[in-house]
Structure 1
Amino acid sequence: MGLALERIVYISRARGDADSLLMQVDILATSQRNNARDDLTGALMIHDGRFLQVLEGAAQDLDRLMTRLAADRRHEAVTIMQRTPIAERSFAGWAMASVRVTPALENLLRETVAEGRSSAETVERMRQAALAQSA
């Protein structure tokens, strides 16, 4: 029997220019490498100086990642919107999917930040966008 899975959804503000292609490539490459090593999956959306990320994996692996994230010079004001047990991964196969921000996802990001919480809709819409963008 495997370890119990959890999902974390967090937002943070970027230190520096989050819309910079160089910063986005650096974060995505680092996330993909580290998450593959730690058996974590998820998706990242970057827009207007904000990060919205969904992470899935074993609790201790997520705890280590969040500790690293708190010390990451590229992030500030890291806020966990949701942490919950899950039966299965929504982002299986993606060490870290990059979700491009469409107008609909821009509204979702703004609503998530404004409300200060995540929802199943947030996770599902990010999953659908990752699927569509990888096709």
Structure 2
Amino acid sequence: MLVRVAYVSNLIGTAGRSPLSMAQIVGVSDVNNRRDHLCTSMLFHDGQVVQVIEGQRVDVDRLLRRLDSDARLGPLRMVCDMPIRERALTEAVTVCHEPQRTLDHVGLTDLDHVTHGSLEAMLEYRIAA
């Protein structure tokens, strides 16, 4: 079964706070996601990350177990977990390079208030961009 899962988490320490740190995260994610046939999109903002993951249930669950034990992340707050007919994402990893503009577009000031609806709006906005 093909699913889409999304979570928000606080970043711990220096994770995701510099271009080098983000590049390291994206590089490892790209290798792992290609191996596991996953597509993901990440948005880093003000010490937090929201990530959308699409793939087969077993592969997504395996990634979530790794993320749940990743010392760079705080507790994962699940925003959505749903079956999908087809993927909206087409690449192993994408990163939103305009996080503030994306949040402004959907009327959010931070990632603490991301809901399933605002997540879908952000995803549509990023895909259309």
TM-score range, shorter chain: 0.7 to 0.9
Shift of 1:121: 1.2
8 Å contact 1:46–1:101 — kept in the other structure? no
Shift of 1:56: 0.2
1:16 counterpart (7, 10, 13): 13
Counterpart in 2 of 1:97?
A: 94
Counterpart in 2 of 1:122?
A: 122
Quote the Cα distance in structure 2 between the aligned partners of 1:84 and 1:111. Answer: 25
Quote the Cα distance in structure 1 between the aligned partners of 2:107 and 2:22. Answer: 17
1:71 counterpart (57, 69, 93): 69
Q: TM-score, normalised by structure 2?
A: 0.86
Amino acid at match of 2:80: Q
> Which segment is superposed worse, 97-106 or 61-70?
97-106
- In the alignment, is residue 48 of structure 1 matched against residue 52 of structure 2? no
Structure 2: segments with no counterpart, 5+ residues? none
CA RMSD of aligned residues (A): 1.9
In the comparison of the two structures, how many residue pairs are matched?
125
Counterpart in 2 of 1:6?
A: 3
Amino acid at match of 2:52: V
- In the alignment, is residue 31 of structure 1 matched against residue 66 of structure 2? no
Q: Which runs of 4+ in 1 moved over 4 A?
A: none
Q: TM-score, normalised by structure 1?
A: 0.83
Structure 1: segments with no counterpart, 5+ residues? none
> Which segment is superposed worse, 8-17 or 110-119?
110-119
Shift of 1:106: 3.2
Percent of residue pairs bearing the same amino acid type:
29
| SS of aligned partner of 1:24 | helix
